[in-house]
Structure 1
């Protein structure tokens, strides 16, 4: 196997996505192969109870660019995302969901924006009506408003985990359960430049969403308060001169 680190690592958390995985793999290769850029796909199976792991092993056996790992126990989206990011070897890391609502054909737009920014976040504000129902859209709007209000942020779609960033953005990040929702803020706190770009929001290819109003707002409220506390208490300094 080629030991040279790839330019891009796509990081995908997976839980009970047996109906989406082959289509996801096909979509990724169709979108990225023409770019003539080296990449890998790191998929973390969050102890799925369906046939996801069996399918992932077949995909990885066919294409060594797909690197897979499986949790012993269900750890949640943050844990699966963080495990994938830790395993990623690319210069740039792109996180996306396994359900194909995030379109791999948007990857070139992320790479272009990374020429000027350290972290690029996808926003579905203009496209949500094409892929989600009213309840999901409404709960997302409410959650975004609350998060921005309490954390003094201006991220228009914090619930969109389709993001790209330089791997050094993660160097000092302290990840925790629910942190995937606040990754742009955590990266900003480390002094990196963050921006947003519009992304496609496809209808879910197969299966049901594992996250609803409870996950988007109420369950993440304590996490939001933790981030708010961290922003206020973070130590900041700049050394202007030193000897020896």
Structure 2
């Protein structure tokens, strides 16, 4: 994996965006993130290129050189969960927010999620997951997602009705304490709760894809998801942890 420049400025919030063949989306999305975080001091933006085959890297090169962005690139395609983990490991912020690289998540929702997690009050959530309002996807994708969420909820009972939403904000150290596997980004609420962390969900905006093409296939994703679900169910049953406080 290659890592491109980072600044020495103090960072509290890191934005991690996994991308694969999203050349038409990366610059508009970067500009939206910058506008959304203009009032949020101490942040950085990290794009993780999962070995794109288009000119994603070439389009990002000027903004990387200008110091507006950190760019990581996988040497071989590894999937969205691996891209998220690479970004989180490289992040310098105490908190990390992830969003999809297709432009369907709205960066304007980030400050509200950040306010919830960073409040510092007792019982504050360690992860806040977005729940997409009025999903702007095809009927087949919405139907497949609804069925998958119902099945997943019956097993995991994590209270999340939209685990596929890419917009999630969490504490970096808590994420890195979780077991890593190839589809973990779809099961973060259940994993955080299994490790004793408070979790919350908030409604977020969702937009139609305006550029590029979707990388998902409902049937292939569904079959893989069943195996992943059973694995997470086993992990949940075998993980009995609660928050630890130091006694003075």
Both structures adopt the same fold (TM-score exceeding 0.5): yes
The aligned counterpart of 2:82 is: 79
1:180 alignment partner, one of 185, 188, 195: 185
Of the candidates 22, 41, 46, which is equivalent to residue 45 of structure 2?
41
Please give the alpha-carbon distance, in whole angstroms, between the structure 1 residues aligned to 2:14 and 2:25. 19
Does the CA-based 8 Å contact 2:46-2:69 persist in structure 1?
Answer: yes
Identify if the C-alpha distance between structure 1 residues 107 and 213 changes in structure 2 by more than 3 Å, giving closer, same or farther: same
Counterpart-to-counterpart distance in 1, 2:244 and 2:209: 49
Alignment partner, residue 58 of structure 1: 62
Matches within 5 A, 1:198-209: 198-209=203-214
TM alignment of 1:88-237, pairs within 5 A: 88-114=91-117, 115=119, 116-124=124-132, 126-128=133-135, 131-236=136-241
**Cα distance between partner residues in 1 of 2:17 and 2:10:** 18
What is the DSSP-based 3-state SS (H/G/I as helix, E as strand, rest coil) of the residue aligned with 1:29?
Answer: helix
Please tell me whether the aligned partners of residues 94 and 172 of structure 2 are also in contact (alpha carbons under 8 angstroms). Answer: yes
Q: Distance in 1 between matches of 2:112 and 2:243?
A: 33
Superposition deviation, residue 210 in structure 1: 0.7
1:52 to 1:231, Cα distance in 2 relative to 1, 3 A: same
| Contact kept in structure 1, 2:195 and 2:241, CA below 8 Å | no
Q: Quick check: 146-155 or 15-24, which moved more?
A: 146-155
Cα RMSD (Å) of the superposition? 2.0
Structure 1 spans left out of the alignment, 5+ residues:
none
Q: TM-score, normalised by structure 1?
A: 0.91
SS of match in other structure, 2:236: helix
Cα distance in 1 between the residues matched to 2:56 and 2:112: 29
What's the CA shift for 1:26? Answer: 0.9
| Aligned-partner Cα distance in 1 for 2:127–2:227 | 25
Q: Post-superposition shift, 1:123? A: 0.4
User: Deviation of residue 178 (structure 1)?
Assistant: 0.7
SS in 1 for 2:37: helix
For structure 2, the 5+ residue unaligned runs are 1-5
Offset of residue 162 of structure 1 = 0.5
Question: 1:232 and 1:158 mapped to 2: Cα distance?
Answer: 19
In structure 2, relative to structure 1, the CA distance for the partners of 1:153 and 1:36 (3 Å cut) is closer
Aligned length: 237
Preserved CA contact (<8 Å) 1:59 1:66:
yes
TM-score normalised according to structure 2 size: 0.89
Corresponding position of 1:9: 14
Tell me the secondary structure at the aligned position of residue 155 of structure 1: coil
